[in-house]
Chains A and B, each alone.
Chain A
Amino acid sequence: KNEVEQSPQNLTAQEGEFITINCSYSVGISALHWLQQHPGGGIVSLFMLSSGKKKHGRLIATINIQEKHSSLHITASHPRDSAVYICAVSPHSRLTFGEGTQLTVNP
Chain B
Amino acid sequence: DVKVTQSSRYLVKRTGEKVFLECVQDMDHENMFWYRQDPGLGLRLIYFSYDVKMKEKGDIPEGYSVSREKKERFSLILESASTNQTSMYLCASTSSGEGQETQYFGPGTRLLVL
Seen from chain A, the residues whose Cβ lies within 8 Å of a Cβ on chain B are 29-31, 33, 35, 40-45, 48, 50, 86, 88, 90-95, 97-100
Contact = CB atoms under 8 A, between A and B. Distances in A.
B61 interface: no
Given A44-B105, A50-B100, A94 B48 contact: yes
Given A41-B90, A99-B41, A93 B97 contact: yes
A48 B103 CA distance: 10
Given A41-B110, A48-B102, A86 B43 contact: yes
Contact of B108 (A42, A90, A91, A93): A42
A41 B107 contact: yes
B42 A29 contact: no
B103 A33 contact: yes
A91 to B, nearest CB: 6
Contact of B99 (A29, A42, A100): A29
B1 interface: no
A91 B48 CA distance: 15
A33 B99 CA distance: 10
Given A41-B88, A97-B43, A99-B42, A30 B100 contact: yes
A92 B107 contact: no
A43 B42 contact: no
The 8 closest A-B pairs by CB, nearest first: A30-B99, A41-B108, A90-B99, A43-B105, A99-B42, A97-B43, A31-B100, A42-B107
Interface in B75-106: 88, 90, 92, 94, 96-106
A40 B6 CA distance: 14
B1 to A, nearest CB: 12
B33 A98 contact: no
A9 to B, nearest CB: 9
Nearest to B48: A94
Nearest to B98: A30
